[in-house]
Structure 1
């Protein structure tokens, strides 16, 4: 780890983080998000330990130096294998290794990891201890408040106590149950009711833990209120992805008290050299621009921006000129102000 991102720095960065989201928070998405906020903590998609250790799919660890501070989220349930995967992640420069104990998908359940690990806190502790023993970067956990017929008020304190004893000092709690039977992964993100009060109680009961809350947060104002109420961090998922500028462009001054913020147009233009580099290495334009569709959400011209990128970015030979043409559809801020 570089001196820049020691544990105390990551704890500060975790005041606001962007959730790990499968098929969404890839390296191109993270590069865009970093242009919007210099300080928010970014997470990879979940990468399974078997894919890295047995499959040697090391390309899944690819990331740009500009993404830091950035955390690798791992999925798995075998302590030795997770330790090897964590070592691979730390070896290529990730600032944090996070263990997924919250994903409710059928694929994850069949592998005996993700949210189903809420039923096995001792195993989670073994995993955390093995990972922490293999790397010199911080090992953290992302979990739910419980699964299926568990009683969150009973299971969550025991879970936190157990992983704390194993050396975990920072945890992100998705403030919903996960129902492993009867709900799809998408439904598990919205149907089980939020229980913020329980997460606040956990912070009161475990003051030495850095606790971030996840689930249902859709604005910086909500994030700031949760921080003011005593939580250490807020993780935002879908809102940060679908409307990245609305969530991240003012995060640095409003959440971290640093900088003047950014804007969507500047970020979009800063993506052009990145896109050119991606294309020069054989990449396709839509691999990057699919993450940029919501960049101008709420601004005049946003619909035309989305349409042009959606229709043209996947065409053979599409290049930065498509982005330039789409940018021409966005009304400048001065015009927007006049239209209000």
Structure 2
């Protein structure tokens, strides 16, 4: 059977039976069984449900790692095509089904035609959506049990025309961190505010003051960042001034130094406002994803491979940075490498946003993705 037809069948199968992060049991077994069919050495259960397939050719000690993600999202799919999700409330709304199918396709092609010298590691990662899958595989010895000279990843991007690739050296995507601020006051009767302390007033001042961190504390040139307050909750009611306000939010930045500045600046703002008002506070800051930072040499290799597949004019090797986040960033802190984005299409043909109940991976780009992986391996392990 033609490899593209096979890849479409694999993709549709995975889409029909999506599994949430850390629960990718059937998906992982499907992947592992296919790799074994192709003749690869297969290792299961890496970092939970992760799978690593190993393909060797010749005597060279050079090596390369290729990574795809496998998990789905807790979203109720609203599509009506034949391969719609059969697991109610779970769907592949980010295209990980397509990423997995493309990497399987590349493994099949390379196993049938070993035109390279060295070792290829096919990394099928669980739990990307929660940001812990890459760390789990790394902790389980991904880069200590096996040596990789470089590691590469790929993700589809709606809104970019199919057949086009975008990437850049340095920071391609932002880090993502969340924060929780708890303001503790005495509260009281709504008719007698002077009898207690009001955390709502303090919370409102905190929300406003947080906006000055980006505009007044960070460089507009090399410290681009976003700080968003996304939730404001109290334990009050219509005639009760609350005793507690909980403020939560999200931050994005492109460098570790900016990330650390933001973490400290948020607490400084909160502490100042609370001291001024005479109330107590609690503060928690959690980093989920680091910024995705491509190394220069590997980005050059990725761009050349993409250009060979789709032509120079269809590859942007110095694109704008994206404020979305990706846990492949943790792999790039261990091994040099490059993350590249492949256009999923525009408008009705692939342009539906990621994490949307009407999203679907564009089958027309499966062959392009497979060709990119095969070309990258053959170029790097020539």
* Structure of higher CA gyration radius: 2
Structure holding more helix per residue: 1
TM-score grouping bracket, smaller chain normalisation: under 0.3
**TM-score, normalised with respect to structure 1:** 0.23
The structure carrying a bigger strand percent of its residues is: 2
Q: Between the two structures, name the one with larger relative contact order (CA 8 Å, sep ≥ 6).
A: 2
Give TM-score, length-normalised by structure 2. 0.21
